[in-house]
Structure formats: C-alpha cells, structure tokens
Structure 1
Amino acid sequence: MTPRLLLSIVLSLATVSAVGAADALQKQADWHNPEYPAIRQKLIDWLTESDAPAAQMTAVSQLWPEEAPSDTPAELGIRLLETAAIMDADARELAVTTLSASADGELPQFPWLADESKPFPTWMRDNLRFQYGRWLAEQRMLDEAYLQLKETPIAEVADPAALLFHRAVCEHYLLKKEDCVATLGTLLSNQEQIAPRYLAVAKLMLADIQPLETDSLDEIARLMRDVERRLDLGRAGKKVRTQEEDVVAKLDKMIEDLEKQMQQQQQQSQGGQQGGSNTQPSSPLNDTMPAGGSGPGNVDPKKMNPGDNWGNLPPKERQEALQQISNEFPSHYRRVIEEYFRKLAREEDTK
C-alpha cells in the first residue's frame, strides 16, 4: 500500500478509539500464512504437468531454490508474480504494472484473469488477481479493486493478510459495513501473522465503521468523501450523480426531521405557558414596553411562503440557518452542510 493511501486512512480514523474493538475477535484463526516449501511444491507440480520448456524451468528453479529464503509473505507473493512473468507475456505486463508506483495513462485491463485462457492453475490466477487488486486499491480505484479482491480465496494466496486488508479498505471506503466488519474480523483472528502497519489500521477501521448508522451525518460525510475521490479520478458519470443526489436527499430528510423536532419543542413550550396561568392582564401593554414572553422565538417553518426554501434563502439568512444546523453536529461536518447549500443554490440558478 502506498504511503499516501495508508496515511489518508490513518488521518481519517485518528479520532476513533479502538478500545473494545478487538474483544469480539477472540476466536480461532481463520487463516495462516502458507509455508515456502508448500508453495514451491505447487510450482514444481504445475511446471511438470504443463511440460514447460527447459529454459523456463531453469529460470523458475533459480527463483525458487530448495533452501527456503527468509521471505515475508509479501515477498513470496512477488516471487509468484515474477514466476508468472517468466511463463507468459501478458503476465509479464501485469507484473510490470503492479510493481510500478502509479498508473500512467489509461487503466490497464487484464480480462484473462477472470477466465482460463492462460495456462495458469487456479491458485496461481488467484495470486495474480490479488496483485492486480492490491495495485488498483493503491491507485484509489476501489470499485475495480473490489471486483478483483472480494471473491479471491485467502487460502490460495501467498499473502492472505494483505488480501484481507485491501479488501477491507475497499469495503470501508465504499460503506459496505457488514462486509467490512466480517473481513476485519477474519483478518484480526490471526494478529500474530499480520504486518504491524496493517494491524494498527485494521483495528482503527473496525472501531470506526462499527458505530456507523444509515442516514446519519457521518454516513453523509463518507458519501461525499467518496464522491470527491471519484471526481479526483476524473469520473463524473451516473454513479457520481446518483451519490450526489443521495447526499442531498439524506440531508433533506435530516433537516426535515430537525424542523419537526423544533416544532414539537415549540408547541410543548407554548402549551406549558398556556396551562400555567389563566390570568388576564388588567390593561394592555404599553407599545413602548417589550412583552415578557419566554418562548424560543423560532419561526414556524410551515408558515413560510411556499416559494421560500433552503436553496434560495438570502445570504444572511442562509448563513444563520447554516450556523443553527452546524451547532447540532461536530465542526468537521460543517463542510458537508455547506456543500449541501451550495448545491441547492446551483439547482435554483439553473431553473
């Protein structure tokens, strides 16, 4: 994972407490790192069955000596990628792509990963799909990455922790809460074999997404973050427009609920005042003296003119409304609400 993406995750979760998140994960490990001899034997069996040319056999043998090196799971995954590159030209292109730091030009496509047109056994293809999915996630192309990672079996890859981590990153960003919690639960079931950089962030992601509620301002902020990511990638199609409309609809509902709550509070306050005293004043108030009412002074939204709405409020009143709503929520959600008002204003301008 690139430092940029890893740092962005850490920063976005920095305020979240991970206390108690691991308590629900005390269970038997659901995965284990494969051993070097087992992977090497799979390769020997495959090459023997495929009757590979002597030159390829020699190259692969040099890459996989009998004496096991002290490789990490990630390094074993790279060995498998390099092995595939020796055996096939398209796999060589995949290796060059996934070992590069960033994408240049159009997104490279490798449709053969999803079929059996290449002479690779299923377990090798799974490892190649993981490498492609990992690279896509590092490029922030999370939808494409998830397509590669969500069905790849952890038992077949050389680096199962990395597969689960990148899958969880996609689910976290794409707001697939239940899937993300399940993936992180599987990942954290074997904490002893997780790279430290994955372990810390995985715990933070779990503590962050577990309390997420549908239609909350937290969810809306995450939806807007995903819209920004897509726009940064130059994507402004139907998916983005749908998400933008979803954000506005959720904020509309939230504001409507807030208005109803304010109405109820006002009605309760007025009812309390009326029931507290039936004494009539002996003389009318002097016009120059203020009345002694103690009501909140809020305007009933239902008494506003039909043409008045949040989108075309004058700047001063819009700022007051924004401030009132913002006070109900943490300050880091202010940008979400501001963007909501800007979108409404743009829609009014186009009418």
Structure 2
Amino acid sequence: MNQRHATAASHAADPRSESHSAVSAFALWLFLIMCVLLTTRVSADEALQNEKAWSALNHDQMASMLRQSLDEYGIVPSVVDQTSSQFAVDLGQQGLDPMDAFVSSIAGLNDAVKTILDLSSADPIAAAASIDPSAPHYAEIESLPKPIRMTVRTWLGRSLVRGRLYDEALPVIAEVDASETIDPASSLFYRAACYHALLMKKEALADLRQLLENEDDCPVRFSRLAKMMVADIKPLKEDSLDEIARLMTDVSRRLELGRSDDKVEGQEQKIIDKLTKLIDKLEEQQQQQQQQQQQSSGGAGGSQGGQETPMDDSRIAGANGNGNVKKKDLDQDPGWGNLPPAERKEALQKISRDLPTHYRDAIEAYFRKRAVQN
C-alpha cells in the first residue's frame, strides 16, 4: 500500500506527466476545431452548389418586378396599380406571353418603348437601330429602371432572332443581365442562338451551359434545342470543311435577306481563303503520302530484268520545242471562266460528290445563290 502511494506521488510530481496531459488536451482541442471548420466548409460548398445562376419567375413575381420598376421610374401609385392589375389579367385570363404583356404595359407609359414596339413589326432593323447609342431615343431608354431595360432588350432580341437577323440582334441582347429580366431563360437562349448562328463558339457554349445549369426551370423547347446546339457547335474546328459549309450557309442566309454589302463580300472572301488553305493542306498531305510510298518501294528508278520503269515525275523528258508559248488574251473574251450550264452542273457534282450530304447541300445552295446574284 505504501509503495502504491509512493508511486502515485512520484507520477504526480513528475513534470513529464503534466506535459503529456497538456499535449493530449491540445490535440483534442485542435481536432474539434478541424471538425467544425470541415463541417462549415462542406455546408458552404453545398450552398454554392445549390445556388442557381438564374431562376424562373412565376406570374406574381413578374407582377411584383413590374410594380417595383414603375415605382422606381416615378409613376404615380394609381397608375402603378392599374398597370400592374392589367398585367396580371393579361397573364392569367388572357394568357399572353409574359414579355409581350410586359413591353406593352411599359409602352403605354414611355414613348421610346412604344416606338420600338411599333417598329418591331414594320421595320425590325430600324427597331434594332433605336437601341444604338447614337439613336435619338437611346438616352430615354437607358434612363429606365434596369429590369425594364433588360426585358425590353430581350424582347426585341427575340423578335430579331426569329427573323434570322442575328447581326442586328446581338448588339441589342449582348449586354443583357439575365437575372434582371422577367424571363431569364429567354435572355440566355436567344443570345446563345445569335452566337451559334454567327459561329462564336466560346460565347455560345457559355450561355448554353448557363441555361442548362437550371434545366428544371428551363422550358422544354429551350433545353432540347440548347442540347442540340451544344452538340452541334462543340466539335466545330477552325478552317475545317464543317466551318466552311457553315459560312456558306450564312452567306446564303444574308443573300435571302437581300444583303449584298461589304459584310457578305467579306464572308465570301473568307470562304475562298479557307478553301484555298484546306486545298493546300490536302495537297501537301498527298505529296507526303506519295513520298512515303516511293521510299517504302525502295525508290526503284532503274530497270529490273531488262524492263524499264516509267519515268519519274522529277525527271525532265526530252523535247524538241523551242519553249515559246503564245499568251492568251483573256480580257478579250467576256465569257472566260464561265462554263456552260451542263458542264457547270457536272463540275459541281464532281466537287461535292464525295462530301457528306450536309456539306454538299450547303455548297450547292451557295453556288445557286451566287448564280442568281450574278
């Protein structure tokens, strides 16, 4: 008994025992802090994952956005009540498109928006020009509250995209903040449609991916088309035959719209340059293959068994001519370079015979449009 007491007393008096206890307590305290920090970080990560870049608004939220915007714009309360009530009726009983109803409500209170509304059906290009900073009504439009500006731009951009006026639509809708409109899905979808049509791959994929991040709130028609556009433009490579065919389709679209301006000529020159580059690349590959075949065959340039081999392309054959060639005066022949219709058709068939149907149709449509323009 006395020995056990003595041993306990010695441990109690030993400073190493106290140090070991302190280290254990510190380790436990550190472990608890790490657990708390880890739990907090996981919760924050989950919150970020659950946070959506955009969300669809129901009719009540749309009406609330309209009311708040009108209040900010300084409309008298009685008119705000009347406009908001009519907007709710248009969405509910009338079943109107939310953006159509929203823009119509604002047009009754703002002359610049009314001008855009009237021009959109009569002259959509002029309507798009009214958003330009040099336009007379631009300052008046920019003075509107942000939700109104963003929704009006989205509405006009949608109208232009539906008319395949992508060049005019993009400046209108490019800077739209989707979260500040009554229809964020439309803002993202129609802007992505512009980028897709104009072969702006990076920008198109960014908007399409953001749209599909919240597929649950996205209209089915948008989500299906968005997935198709992603699959269509993602594999697009610069200077490929696919890109050339798309450029030809774009030129055909512009010609159908009656365009024959510098933009069209620039696109045509781009097509020619890319085709030339592609042909040069293919010829280079063919030459490399021929050289490899010659090397693999041992470069048989002599005779075997008394039989002579054909003359190499690199050797100059004997000739008796003096080498003078009569120059052809091409300027005197107005039809030079133009094939008769039958031969032209045959040439086009040979050019596009081995191409996939998508490329062949685009090339043939392109040359048909050019023939009509000439």
Q: Taking structure 1 as the reference length, what is the TM-score of the superposition?
A: 0.70
CA RMSD in angstroms, aligned pairs only: 4.3
Q: Distance in 1 between matches of 2:104 and 2:214?
A: 28
Measured at CA, do residues 71 and 213 of structure 1 come closer, stay the same or move farther in structure 2, by a change above 3 Å? farther
Gaps of 5+ in 1: 1-25, 285-290
1:34 aligns with 2:57: yes
CA displacement, residues 37-88 of structure 1 (integer Å, 9 cap, x when unaligned):
444334334444544357734530431459x94998x833223212102212
* Corresponding position of 2:37: none
Measured at CA, do residues 275 and 52 of structure 1 come closer, stay the same or move farther in structure 2, by a change above 3 Å? closer
* Aligned sequence identity (%): 35
What pairs with 1:1-351 in structure 2 (closer than 5 Å)? Answer: 29-52=52-75, 56-57=79-80, 59-65=82-88, 69=92, 75-98=97-120, 100=121, 103=122, 107-109=126-128, 111=130, 115-118=138-141, 120-275=144-299, 280-282=304-306, 326=352, 329-335=355-361
* Corresponding position of 2:9: none
CA displacement, residues 162-190 of structure 1 (integer Å, 9 cap, x when unaligned):
11111111111100000011110001111
Q: Distance in 2 between matches of 1:318 and 1:258?
A: 24
Bigger Cα displacement from structure 2, 272-281 vs 234-243: 272-281
CA displacement, residues 210-247 of structure 1 (integer Å, 9 cap, x when unaligned):
00000001000111111111111111111110110010
Q: What is the Cα deviation at residue 141 of structure 1?
A: 0.7
Higher RCO (CA-CA < 8 Å; seq separation 6+) = 1
Bigger Cα displacement from structure 2, 113-122 vs 143-152: 113-122
Q: What is the Cα deviation at residue 334 of structure 1?
A: 3.0
Q: Taking structure 2 as the reference length, what is the TM-score of the superposition?
A: 0.66
Residues 63, 79 of structure 1: 8 Å contact kept: no
Measured at CA, do residues 126 and 332 of structure 1 come closer, stay the same or move farther in structure 2, by a change above 3 Å? closer
What amino acid maps onto 1:169 in structure 2?
A: A
Bigger Cα displacement from structure 2, 255-264 vs 48-57: 48-57
Q: What is the Cα deviation at residue 153 of structure 1?
A: 0.3
Q: Distance in 2 between matches of 1:51 and 1:44?
A: 11
Higher helix share: 2
Q: Distance in 2 between matches of 1:83 and 1:89?
A: 12
Q: Distance in 1 between matches of 2:50 and 2:220?
A: 20
Larger-Rg structure: 2
Aligned residues: 301
What amino acid maps onto 2:64 in structure 1?
A: Q
Q: What is the Cα deviation at residue 124 of structure 1?
A: 0.6
Residues 128, 168 of structure 2: 8 Å contact kept: no
Q: What is the Cα deviation at residue 342 of structure 1?
A: 9.2
Measured at CA, do residues 328 and 104 of structure 1 come closer, stay the same or move farther in structure 2, by a change above 3 Å? same
Gaps of 5+ in 2: 1-48, 318-324, 329-335
Measured at CA, do residues 216 and 49 of structure 1 come closer, stay the same or move farther in structure 2, by a change above 3 Å? closer
Residues 71, 77 of structure 2: 8 Å contact kept: no
